[in-house]
Amino acid sequence: MGNVLDISNVINVSVASAPQGIGEPNINNALLITSDAPAESFTEAFGIYASASAVAADFGSSSLTARMAEAIFAQQPNILAGNGKLIIAPLIEGEGLAAAIVRLKSLVSFCAIMTTTASDVLTDGAAAYVQAQNNMILYTVSNNAEDIAVGGNFDLIRQAGFTKTRCLSYLSATTTEAKLFMAAYVGRAHSVNFSGDNTTITMHLKDLAGILPDPTMTQTQLTLAQNAGADTYVNIAGVSKVFTSGKNEYWDAVYNLTWLVLALQTAGFNTFAQTSTKITQTENGADILKGNLRKILEQGATSGYLAAGTWTRSDTFGNQEALLRNISEYGYYIYTQPINQQPAADRDERIAPLVQIAVKAAGAMHKGNIMIYVNA
């Protein structure tokens, strides 16, 4: 038998590697900004933790930082169930909360924000800064009844429309107990895995492991907290439960929308970044973009955030009949401007046609009424 020549004389095969995309930001990563001094071995700007014992090793088991970490991980489920981690960052001397958030934003990814300090999130500017961010939710707690009064700090946060600042009221004798309530609340709240089926939650009437109900809150104070938009932890009919308020929007509405915005943003980016050739500026290209965004909307419906319903807003877009039908059947509608109607300037800049999305949030039942008819 003579020489065997290589098949490449006839056919050449090359393997194209998939372009790299980005991962979806994890909204269950919780940042704790602390004034507690860490161990000498702690040399970085922050530490990332998956257990309370690891926090205790760095900050001491008796520190407020370690106790708050214990409250977070004691909840079932907690941030770990949603693939989250606890990030702890010491304050720099003289640094305010807003400045710390800005500094850490470029170093590590987080969503929930807490602090061991007694920070005024209004005068400090933290509430205003967080409200402008797509990926942050700020938590603040007070054991001072003045904060839930009309014109108090929490009422002012509500009036300012700072929905991404979640106010918690716990009228204990010490701020430590209030801080532990906040940590437990965050640990339980930021536990949703949106890739699951019917996994989204409301915090209303949830249990918090290791936390006693507010020892002094009266019905009058509970009403004030409700009107100020502050969530509480109270004794209802002999059991300890979180009691929520929607006056500054409900917590789950803010949390779920944060996930949706980040998930859509990531899916849009990856549509362009993970295509080895290009997304053409045609209707077919627009369909590819919408198809990837639709997967996120389907995920939102599967997790229980979105649901079929009736569109009650007066404004519509696209095909009104299609919008109403899709909302009633699926809970979402997605539309792009026809390519042939796109402004020439946008085409020159290679901008995709505007994507408009309508969604119907599933909401949640928090209370109800019962009527009994008796026939003697």
| Residue 298, helix vs strand vs coil | helix
Domain boundaries, the chain: 30-249, 275-359
- Give ∠ CA 240-244-250 in degrees, rounded to 5: 150
More confident residue, 90 or 22: 90
Tally of residues, the chain: 376
- Over residues 222-236, the mean pLDDT reads 97
Number of neighbouring beta carbons within 10 Å of residue 215: 12
Amino acid at 275: T
pLDDT of residue 172: 87
Examine the pLDDT at 152 and tell me if it is beyond 90: yes
pLDDT of residue 1: 65
* pLDDT tier at 282, thresholds 50, 70, 90: very high
Examine the pLDDT at 114 and tell me if it is beyond 70: yes
Examine the pLDDT at 12 and tell me if it is beyond 90: no
Q: How far is residue 165's CA from residue 124's CA, in Å, rounded to a whole number? A: 13
| Residue 265, helix vs strand vs coil | helix
Q: How far is residue 27's CA from residue 50's CA, in Å, rounded to a whole number? A: 15
